[in-house]
Amino acid sequence: MSLGNKPTEINRELGGAFALFGGYITGRQVDLVPKRANRPSLAGGKLDPGVYSIAKFDLVEQGSGTKLVFDHTGFPRGVAKNWRRAGKRTIGRPMEKLLA
């Protein structure tokens, strides 16, 4: 399944909903700190209803630049390896290109 070039909708308010890859991944913004952190809860397209994980995107000052720290926890057993691989492909590499 190719997830590239699918629509994304993100509500920037605390508690706001988002949909990534045309709704394949959905969730809510559970913690927002402007210019510092974003912690959305995520439900993957293959998860049981009501099963969510937490992704953390933290911005940390580092010298004259900024370091992006990504952490993803709380996903069900058995999906970690696939999610890690998919995360690098769909989030990590595109963000590296965007921020380079």
* Tens-place pLDDT, residues 43-59: 776 677 777 888 888 88
Q: What is the domain count for the chain?
A: 1
CA angle 16, 93, 25 (to 5 degrees): 30
Q: Is residue 95 part of a domain?
A: yes
Q: Select from 95, 89, 13, 84 the least CA-distant residue to 53.
A: 84
Q: Is residue 27 part of a domain?
A: yes
Q: Is residue 53 part of a domain?
A: yes
Work out the percent of the chain whose per-residue pLDDT is above 70: 92
Q: Is residue 1 part of a domain?
A: no
pLDDT above 80: residue 24: yes
Q: Is residue 81 part of a domain?
A: yes
Containing domain of residue 26, as a range? 9-99
Looking at the chain, how many residues does it have?
100
Q: The domain spanning residue 70 has which CATH number?
A: 3.30.530.20
Q: Is residue 64 part of a domain?
A: yes
Is residue 57 within 8 Å of residue 37, measured between CB atoms?
yes
**pTM summary value:** 0.67
Mean pLDDT of 16-34: 86
Q: Is residue 4 part of a domain?
A: no
Q: Select from 50, 100, 60, 33 the least CA-distant residue to 41.
A: 50
In this predicted structure, what is the pLDDT of residue 3?
A: 57
Confidence of residue 1 (pLDDT cuts 50, 70, 90): very low
